[in-house]
Amino acid sequence: MGVSKLSGALRIGLCICLVVFAFAAGFAQRSPWILPFMGTGFTAAYLFGQIRLWRVARNSGELKRYWLQLPADFAVQLILVSALYLIGFGLHALTSGEADATPFAPGDAIWPLAVGAAASIMWLYVDRIEGKPARWYPEWLAGKDEAPEGGSRDDLRLLPEPVTLQSFFTAPADTVSATEHEAVAWADAYSALTEGLSEDDITRAEARLGRALPDLLIALYREQNGGSVAGLCIPLPDQRAPTRCDQVILPFGGYDDLVPAESLRTVWDTVTDYADPASPDDVSQFPDGAKAMIVLAQWYRETLFLDYNQPGAPRVGYTDFDRYDMDGNRDTVTWWKDFETFFAALRHYEPA
């Protein structure tokens, strides 16, 4: 949907509210110790206002650069709120003839952080209703960053073991390093709580969905009813030996989990969590054929799904329903002709 009148008004209104808040703190002659807290709140609001840049950084494997610039972001915001505070403080002194800051109180810490949290939530809402980059969105952000000069940036290492029904939910034991044992223990504990489904359980799930699930997916649910999966990826077609996250697809997203059978929903259902199909402004949020797509994994709007929009066995698709190109076209869907083909393409990996 891009930048609409509503989202544009919200962006301007949020910025004005934050400026007025910092100015008012100075005009009310609050303690100068309020400034670090205002700097923190403003930094949080700024970062959530730039959430699309963070998403691009994550998709391009350059998220570390954004984390490293956080101190600079805080310093800039601290300078900004200090300037606004001093302007307000000085104006009050000129109009009243008094320049006496009040002692520091708990509210001087609570209110700036609360305002920053509220602004952050509003930025998330703005990001949601905009739906896709505006035309002014910098075109260089649509591409992948190049690897650093003088060498590659290794993020992951493919493991030689094939993905099987047994290893799908748990990484091969001999590939787990000592530093990962605690994480594996948690995964094993979780697996113990998600036992495999019975035939009756699967029948009820299929009846509720009105769709027959692929046999291999049913076999996985018999092993374990969804939950955490092993580190699984699919190399991109032009990558025989990928070493970076931007050279593979991570079909189970940042959560690394498969949706439990009783929680399977259509793409249409997941979109109705935040959009109204009866609203003209939200119609574009619903992909074509969404009612016949069953979500297997989802991280934000990066979605792995079964597509029943054609005869025969459902094909498997993976896409980011929030990502658009500069012309407003949805992100290209990566397809596998059926679940068996998708499963055969999976590879185990571990961080490099």
Each domain of the chain, given as residue ranges in start order, spans 5-142, 156-351
Q: Tens of pLDDT along 149-202?
A: 444 455 788 888 889 998 998 755 444 444 454 555 545 544 444 578 999 999
Residues constituting the chain: 352
Query: What's the pTM value of the predicted model, to 2 decimals?
Result: 0.57
Q: How far is CA 111 from CA 77, 115, 192, 298, in A?
A: 16, 6, 44, 35
- pLDDT tens for the chain, 352 residues long, are 445 567 678 888 889 999 999 999 999 989 999 999 999 999 998 888 877 666 655 554 556 666 778 888 899 999 999 999 999 999 998 988 888 888 999 988 999 999 999 988 888 887 766 654 433 334 334 444 444 444 445 578 888 888 999 899 875 544 444 445 455 554 554 444 457 899 999 999 999 999 999 999 999 999 999 988 988 999 998 888 888 888 899 999 877 889 999 999 999 999 998 888 888 878 888 889 999 999 999 988 899 999 999 999 999 999 988 776 656 677 789 999 999 999 999 999 988 7
Q: Of 81, 96, 88, 92, which Cα lies nearest the Cα of 36? A: 81
Evaluate whether 33 touches 98 at the Cβ level (below 8 Å).
no
Strands (E), 122-260: 156-158, 227-228, 232-235, 248-249, 257-258
Q: How far is CA 98 from CA 23, 29, 81, 102, 129, in A?
A: 17, 10, 21, 12, 46
Residue 341 is predicted with a pLDDT of: 96
Q: Which H helix or E strand runs over 214?
A: none
Q: Which H helix or E strand runs over 190?
A: helix 181-193
Superfamily of domain 156-351: SMI1/KNR4-like (3.40.1580.10)
Q: Tens of pLDDT along 40-87?
A: 999 998 888 877 666 655 554 556 666 778 888 899 999 999 999 999
